[in-house]
Amino acid sequence: NAGVTQTPKFRVLKTGQSMTLLCAQDMNHEYMYWYRQDPGMGLRLIHYSVGEGTTAKGEVPDGYNVSRLKKQNFLLGLESAAPSQTSVYFCASSKQGLTYEQYFGPGTRLTVT
């Protein structure tokens, strides 16, 4: 039981490049989330999903897109990376809503130059 996994763990992009971060969970959780964590700031919600085929915007969605084609996977895309998107990205999942424990992946450290 791997829990929540994220790939890649590290990535360096040049401004304007695109990439997709993959999150996978094997706990059969309905809810999945993408957060970013920046120095001196709390985790901020980018997008979330309450089930397969559904997504919704969080607090800081601009510049990101997401898809949840399979229940176990939640993809975060950056279409045209900007230096402001340099951050640590965490994926999380929970059994149901936010009153339930969120299980986080190990994070992806992204640097945009």
* Positions in the binding site for another protein (CB under 8 A): 35, 40-45, 48, 56, 58-59, 90, 97-99, 101-102, 104-107
Q: How far is the CB of 89 from another protein (least distance, A)?
A: 11
Q: How far is the CB of 16 from another protein (least distance, A)?
A: 28
3-state SS record for the chain:
CCCEEEECCEEEECCCCCEEEEEEECCCCCEEEEEEECCCCCCEEEEEEEECCEEEECCCCCCEEEECCCCCEEEEEECCCCHHHCEEEEEEEECCCCCCCCEECCCEEEEEC
Q: How far is the CB of 49 from another protein (least distance, A)?
A: 12
